[in-house]
């Protein structure tokens, strides 16, 4: 077996050449000094690093792997220098040539690092483009849903666009963000393009908040994109709801119920816009139509509408838009229309035999219209409705303002309480009789006894009043004015004929039901 070659004289350049060749990561220095196992270990380490590093990842190579590999290369270089100091090279025969080759091969790891950085940058670009695609898919899916359901997805997509533009401004994905934002605005604002104005209001309102998330330099003209569209949507949704008055606005929203708030938002958010200038004319027109409707088939509906309009218009903030005085006039007109319309409503309710409602409507009319041309008849209708509450037959016909007659009827009060007497028939009226001093309430049982004669005590002065009425059926109702809620009224139906004098007596009984009541006798 041949003996090992004798050690060569120490040669520093040769040691440096072996060290430089080992720094290439391929173990070539060991190969030139005939250390094949060490050369294989270097190659294995490099192969392991490549397995970890490839394919290139945006996060790069793990730091621990880089540190271990660097330590190994430095150790190989140091060990190779020690071995090469006294070991002749197998090839090339001259040290300077080996040294030059070592320097040249240092470009291998350097070039690999450059290539890896490029691959890593491309991987990062692809990752960012994937994020952009995911945000695009979010917007596309959200555009097929109602806005309120899609709001969260729109917000996530917007945050993704902003992160791409802010955190990676030089990337290809960031360069595409402005176009994506235009598509985003178009998708969110799609209800406006479809003329679904009520649905467009929350969507466009949302778009006006986008500059809080995305920088204005990214948005450009999009910053003002929603404004005119939102002003139009607020006006159209509110005006449709105002016109319908039934809760239905265009586009499936609830413009009818929300029109005051929508107009309010328009007047405060865009007070100088052309749309805001149309608010007062729209309100004025709605009031006019409601006033006209009082003379239509459903006056009570019109009155209710006017009452609502008066209150709602009063709450509209017209100061900034300069329409507060005009709106105040519209509200006043609606209020006056409701007050005057109570008469037509009461007449309609009376004809429908809803005497409770008719009485309330007429009393409202009388309270708010001291000098109206219909006041006299409204008083008659209120009396007749009150009579008909007790005697429904009294409400068969609407009373007129007629008065007087040829038949004398005297009404006496045999009651300790003041009595209000109401009557209706050919003529309608009412009056009050004061309480009878010394008169007492009758026991209910005594009114059933033979010989019961109210107002029959000789020598007693009964408060009384004589009226003249036409022939025909007259309905009387007596109501105690004691203020007791347990006192029930009494009624009497009189068939009046010429040639007769009639006397009617009012009295109070105790034990009728739960309390007292008034009685009458002709």
Q: Which residues contact 212 (CB under 8 A, 6 or more apart)?
A: none
- Answer with the residue of higher pLDDT: 441 or 236: 236
Percent of the chain with pLDDT over 90: 55
Weakest-pLDDT range from 77-86, 175-184, 229-238, 315-324 = 77-86
Segment 352-372 mean pLDDT: 94
* Residue 4 binned pLDDT confidence (cut-offs 50, 70, 90): very low
Burial of 245 (0-12, 13-18, 19+ CB in 10 A): buried
Which spans in 352-490 are helix H? 355-368, 375-390
Bridge-based pairing state of the strands 429-433 and 502-512: unpaired
Please give the C-alpha separations between residue 158 and each of 125, 192, 209, 416, in angstroms, as whole numbers.
19, 20, 11, 83
Q: Cis peptide leading into 454, omega within 30 of 0?
A: no
- Asked if the model's pLDDT at residue 149 lies above 70, the reply is yes
Preceding omega of 92 cis (within 30 degrees of 0): yes
Q: How confident is the model at residue 459 (pLDDT cuts 50, 70, 90)?
A: confident
Tens of pLDDT, residues 186-197: 999 999 999 999
Token pair in block for residue 125:
């670009």
Region 78-100: what's the mean pLDDT?
58
Mean pLDDT on 457-475: 92
**Which of 174-178, 441-445, 470-474 is least confident?**
441-445
The strand pair at 442-443 and 419-424 is best described as unpaired
**Residue 84 pLDDT exceeds 90:** no
């Amino acid at each position: 077996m041949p003996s090992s070659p004798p050690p060569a004289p120490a040669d520093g350049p040769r040691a440096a050449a072996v060290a430089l060749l080992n720094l290439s990561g391929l173990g070539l220095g060991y190969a030139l000094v005939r250390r094949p196992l060490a050369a294989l270990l270097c190659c294995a380490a490099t192969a392991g690093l490549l397995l970890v590093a490839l394919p290139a990842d945006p996060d790069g190579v793990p730091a621990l792997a880089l540190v271990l590999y660097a330590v190994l290369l430095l150790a190989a270089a140091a060990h190779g220098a020690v071995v090469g100091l006294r070991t002749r090279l197998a090839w090339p025969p001259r040290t300077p040539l080996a040294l030059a080759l070592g320097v040249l091969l240092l470009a291998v790891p350097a070039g690999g690092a450059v290539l890896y950085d490029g691959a890593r940058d491309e991987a990062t670009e692809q990752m960012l483009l994937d994020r952009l695609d995911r945000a695009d898919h979010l917007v596309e899916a959200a555009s097929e849903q109602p806005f309120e359901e899609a709001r969260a997805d729109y917000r996530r997509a917007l945050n993704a666009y902003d992160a791409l533009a802010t955190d990676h401004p030089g990337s290809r994905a960031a360069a595409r963000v402005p176009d994506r934002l235009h598509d985003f605005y178009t998708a969110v604002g799609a209800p406006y393009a479809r003329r679904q104005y009520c649905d467009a209001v929350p969507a466009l309102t949302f778009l006006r908040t986008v500059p809080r998330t995305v920088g204005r330099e990214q948005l450009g003209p999009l910053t003002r994109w929603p404004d005119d569209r939102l002003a139009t949507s607020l006006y159209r949704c509110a005006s449709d709801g105002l016109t319908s008055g039934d809760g239905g606005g265009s586009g499936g929203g609830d413009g009818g119920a929300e029109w005051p708030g929508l107009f309010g938002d328009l007047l405060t958010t865009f007070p100088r816009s052309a749309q805001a200038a149309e608010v007062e004319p729209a309100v004025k027109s709605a009031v006019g139509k409601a006033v006209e409707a009082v003379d239509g088939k459903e006056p009570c509906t019109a009155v209710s509408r006017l009452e609502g309009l008066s209150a709602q218009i009063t709450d509209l903030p017209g100061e900034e838009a300069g329409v507060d005085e005009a709106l105040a006039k519209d509200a006043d007109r609606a209020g006056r229309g409701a007050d005057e319309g109570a008469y037509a409503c009461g007449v309609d309710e009376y004809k429908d035999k809803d005497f409770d409602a008719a009485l309330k409507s007429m009393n409202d009319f009388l309270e708010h219209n001291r000098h109206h041309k219909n006041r006299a008849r409204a008083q008659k209708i209120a009396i007749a409705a009150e009579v008909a509450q007790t005697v429904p037959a009294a409400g068969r016909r609407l009373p007129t303002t007629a008065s007087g007659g040829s038949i004398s009827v005297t009404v006496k009060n045999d009651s300790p309480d003041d009595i209000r007497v109401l009557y209706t028939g050919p003529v309608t009226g009412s009056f009050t009789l004061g309480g009878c001093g010394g008169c007492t309430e009758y026991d209910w049982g005594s009114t059933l006894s033979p010989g019961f004669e109210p107002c029959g005590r000789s020598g007693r002065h009964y408060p009384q009043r004589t009226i003249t009425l036409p022939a025909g059926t007259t309905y009387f109702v007596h109501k105690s004015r004691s203020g007791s809620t347990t006192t029930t009224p009494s009624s009497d139906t009189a068939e009046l004929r010429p040639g007769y004098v009639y006397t009617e007596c009012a009295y109070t009984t105790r034990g009728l039901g739960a309390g007292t009541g008034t009685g009458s006798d002709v």
